[in-house]
C-alpha cells in the first residue's frame, strides 16, 4: 500500500519518539452536478474532533487542520499530536 | 501536496463520472508505551459513519472499509461512493 508511506509526512517509523499521533484525511470528490452545494468538511471537522475526544484526550493546541482544494476535490487533513504525558485512554470510551 | 494525488487511488479527475466519493483515512501511530492499549479505530469508524450521515445520505452498501497495520502504525481507510441518485444533502445537516 503506497498510501501508507505518505502518512505523517512519510516519517512513520518514529518508535523512539514518545508521541502518539493521529492523522485524519477526509477527501470529498463532488460530481459536477453538486459543485454549487456548500461543502460540509469544515463542519464535519468539528464533529470529528468531538467524536475522537470520546476515545483519547485531545487538547485544542494539539490539533492542526489543513484544507486543500483542487478542482472538484476537497481534502481536509487533521493532525493530532499528543505529548506522552497526555497518553491516557479515556475510561468512558468504547 | 503529494498526498492529494494518492487519494481515490490516484484517479481524482473524474469530472465526467457522476459520482460523489468520500474517502476517510484514519492513521494512528502509537508510541511504544501504548502498544498494548487496544486500538480504537474500529469503534471510531462506526462513529465516523454516523457523524457523516448527518451531512450526506450513506447506504451501508456504499461503504468499503480497509484496515492496515504496519509496526506501530494502524491505518483505517473508509471509502464511500454514492451513486448520483443519492446525491442530496440532508436537510437537517449543518
Q: Which cell numbers in the block locate residue A60?
A: 485544542
* Cβ of residue B60 closer than 8 Å to a chain A Cβ: no
* Contact predicate B85/A24, CB 8 Å: no
The CA distance from B61 to the nearest CA of chain A, in Å, is: 18
Which ipTM was obtained for this model? 0.72
CB contact A5 to B (< 8 Å): no
Give strand pairing partners of B23.
A27, B79
Domains recognised in chain B with CATH numbers: 19-29+37-83 (3.30.1070.10)
From A84, which residue of chain B is nearest by alpha-carbon distance? B31
Task: Quote the minimal CA–CA distance from B67 to chain A in Å.
Answer: 11
Could you tell me which of B39, B78, B80, B40 has the C-alpha nearest to residue B57?
B80
Q: Per-residue pLDDT for A94 more than 50?
A: no
Q: Do A4 and B29 touch (CB under 8 A)?
A: no
- Residue B51: the pLDDT is 87
Q: What torsion do the CA atoms of A51, B12, B8, A54 make, to the nearest 10 degrees?
A: -10
CB pairs under 8 A between A and B: 156
Q: Is A31 in CB contact (< 8 Å) with chain B?
A: yes
Three-class SS state of A62 = helix
Residues B7-53 have pLDDT tens digits of 777 654 544 455 788 898 988 888 765 554 566 777 888 888 888 88
Confidence of residue A2 (pLDDT cuts 50, 70, 90): low
The fraction of chain A above a pLDDT of 90, given in percent, is 2
What's the gap in Å between the CA of B59 and the closest CA on chain A? 16
pLDDT at B65 over 60: yes
What pLDDT digit, counting tens, does each position of A30-53 carry? 876 555 456 677 788 888 888 888
- Rounded to an integer, the average pLDDT of A50-74 is 85
Amino acid at each position: 500500500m503506497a498510501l501508507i508511506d505518505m502518512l505523517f509526512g512519510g516519517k512513520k517509523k518514529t518508535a523512539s519518539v514518545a508521541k502518539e499521533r493521529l492523522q485524519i484525511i477526509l477527501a470529498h470528490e463532488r460530481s459536477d452536478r453538486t459543485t454549487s452545494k456548500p461543502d460540509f468538511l469544515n463542519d464535519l471537522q468539528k464533529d470529528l474532533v468531538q467524536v475522537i475526544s470520546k476515545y483519547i484526550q485531545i487538547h485544542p493546541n494539539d490539533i492542526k487542520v489543513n484544507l486543500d482544494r483542487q478542482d472538484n476535490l476537497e481534502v481536509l487533513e487533521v493532525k493530532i499530536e499528543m505529548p506522552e504525558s497526555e497518553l491516557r485512554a479515556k475510561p468512558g470510551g468504547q
